[in-house]
Chain A
Amino acid sequence: MNWFDSAMHRALLEAALVGAMGGVVGVFVVARRLSFFTMALTHATFPGIVIAALLGINLLLGGGVFGLLIVAGVVMLGRGRGQDFTAATGVALAGGFALGVVLISAQSGFTKDLTAYTVGDILTVDTFDLATTAAVTCVVLLTLAMLGKELLLRAFDPDGAAAAGLPVVLLDLALLALVEMAVVATVPALGAILTLALLVGPAATARLLSDRLALLFPLAAAIGVACGLAGIWISMVADVAAGASIALLVGAVFAVALLLRRGVRRPRRSTALSGAD
């Protein structure tokens, strides 16, 4: 019997892959404060997946392309005067999701598909899904390995990056595309809402635990993988939804790190303020 024949094995591998990818990409999501935007992306990808299913083309491709269209829309709308970025993001989130709901409600089997989409179903991933996730993970990690330096400069010193002559608009688009790829690969496993947990949680936890940039990526990836694997195990033992137990675990790890940091940092806290005007 092939190792991949077990649904449990496939789920574990999928969880490890999306955990690692989510952790690494998440470092940028957290640094650039893109959480809400990522949430909108996960929701706006939905109609793309439905349309792709209707047209019979690759679901990930359809979702990805549609998500990028929404990104462009948000960036344009958010530039209007009086329209702050968050409001435009909120409109894209609600509007995109509703479009998916309306499209899918016109089909039959409404609730089943929708639930799989909103909270995910990692136990049903097949070998093809796994291969796709693995490929996406490789592409994302390779791109980050090549562009990581520039993206980090852009994240921590936007003006400095522009002054250094980096193509900041292209870099921003590249980052959004990477986040979108991670979203599209993670949504089938964790669902539209809980994908956000893996794309923010491990990286936010890593930042609480370490101030050293070099450590952030491996730390975030390790936390993502560990939460993914442990979450699947818990869901098996306790018979609860797998995606939700992963997200809950990520939240718990973050909370523990937050408490630890509070404890450690308190004595040093005031020094940071001593220069305050």
Chain B
Amino acid sequence: MNLFEPFATPFMARALIELIILGALAGTVGVLVLLRKLAFVTDTMTHTVFPGVVIGYLAAGEGGIFWGALAAGMVTAALLTLLTRRRKVSEDAALAMLLTSLFALGVVLVSRQSGYTTDLTAFLFGRVLTVTGEQLAQTALISVVVIVMLALLRRPLLLRAFDPETAEAAGYRTGLLDVATNLLVAVVIVAAVRAVGTILVIALLIVPAAAARALSDRLALIVPLAVVIGVLGGWFGLATSYEASIHHGVRLAAGGTVVLVLTGLYLLAGLGGVARRRIVRRRAAAGPLDQATAGISTGVTG
């Protein structure tokens, strides 16, 4: 399989650049999603953006999609912060209700149009092969904003994720931090959803970070690893999809193939993680001196 040949054509090159930017962006934000255990919240947001997409499209055509999605993303980010902070209803059930209700609202709106199945499919799976230069610029701009925000907020966000009580005791406004987290995730979803669709967004936000976590215990490594895995998934996925359809006559949906490659990388990382822990354990067993010092410092003697 050639990893470079497919990207000679401009539309494939644009698709590749879009996926590389998104892979890096979502990989980074995905680590935050992983640390805060926000997978379901993220999934909910990918679906609640849908009515915004539909309303934006109905109001202003293609150009309205982005703004509709952005508005819906902001509203749901705020709603989700409220829902997840008050623990009256089981949070899990509340998320499910928000997800299905808003998605259903989008479906109801879109189902009044004729030929709505195409629109729905585009939303669910995106049109990565028709990405324009303008969209690329948008994605790049959003990425810069999000990365700057993350860099600014990294310490409070880390403390909030690790030890929320102490974060509050130290005077951090955890409510605002939670809103910021949800907004960051929402913005990534909005940036990505038109090009790659909801399923690929959720995959990009969850899979690379989870794979990176399996490979390392150190945050300083997890973030770059997640970025690399996100980028590799996009690249290999596109190349595979192209290869299959041009050289083997099998049409493979580009977005779906990217997700499958990511899932494959995740499984490999899982195996790698098992091997890594074996080695660590064996090394510990091989060094009686290390163990003795560990025993002393633990101070547990029966």
Which residues of chain A have a CB within 8 Å of any CB of chain B? 30, 33-36, 38-39, 77, 80-84, 86-91, 93-95, 97-99, 101-102, 105-106, 110-112, 114-115, 118-119, 193-194, 196-197, 200-201, 203-204, 207-208, 239-241, 243-248, 250-252, 254-255, 258, 261-262
Which of A82, A245, A261 counts the most chain B CB atoms within 10 A?
A82
Min CB distance, B274 to chain A, in Å? 8
Known A95-B259, A102-B257, A247-B100; judge A111-B92 contact (CB<8 A): no
Contact A248 B108 (CB under 8 A): yes
Interchain CA distance A87-B273 in the complex, whole Å? 16
Contact call A102/B210, Cβ cutoff below 8 A: no
Residues of chain A within 8 A of B40, CB atoms compared:
35-36, 39, 86, 89-90
Give the residues in chain A near B200, CB-CB below 8 Å. 94, 98
CB contacts under 8 Å to A, within B115-138, are 117-118, 120-121, 124-125
Is B199 interfacial (CB 8 A cutoff)?
yes
B148: min CB distance to chain A, Å = 26
Chain A residues whose C-beta falls within 8 Å of the C-beta of B84 in the assembled complex: none
Q: Which residues of the partner chain B approach A30 to less than 8 Å between Cβ atoms? A: 90, 92-93
Q: Are A111 and B199 in contact (CB under 8 A)?
A: no
Apart from the given pairs A110-B121, A204-B96, A244-B111, 19 other A-B contacts in the complex at a CB distance below 8 Å = A33-B90, A33-B92, A35-B40, A82-B217, A90-B40, A90-B207, A91-B206, A97-B259, A98-B263, A102-B252, A111-B117, A115-B117, A197-B104, A203-B93, A204-B93, A243-B104, A244-B104, A248-B104, A255-B101
A245 CB contacts on chain B under 8 angstroms: 104, 108
A248 and B101 contact, CB distance less than 8 A = yes
Residue in chain A with minimal CB distance to B254: A105
CA–CA, A201 and B104, complex, Å: 13
The dominant DSSP class at the A interface is helix
Question: Which chain A positions have C-beta within 8 A of B274?
Answer: 80
- From A77, A91, A99, A200, contact of B96 by CB (8 A): A200
Contact with A along B80-118 (1 / 0, CB 8 A): 000000001110111111111101110110011000011
| A101→B253 contact, CB < 8 A | yes
Contact between chains at A101 and B125 (CB < 8 Å): yes
Given A95-B260, A98-B203, decide whether A241 and B107 contact each other with a Cβ distance below 8 A: yes
B120 & A39 in contact (Cβ 8 Å cutoff): no
Which residues of chain B in 67-84 are interfacial with respect to chain A, using CB atoms and an 8 Å cutoff? none
The answer to whether A39 touches B214 (Cβ under 8 A) is no
In the complex, A248 Cα to B101 Cα: how many Å?
5
Contact check, A87 vs B206: say whether CB atoms are below 8 A apart.
yes
Task: Quote the shortest CB–CB distance from B87 to chain A (angstroms).
Answer: 12
Using an 8 Å CB-CB cutoff, how does the interface string of B266-296 with A read, 1 for contact, 0 for none? 1000100110010000000000000000000
Q: Is B14 in contact with chain A by the CB < 8 A criterion?
A: no
Q: Is the CB of B199 within 8 A of A102?
A: no
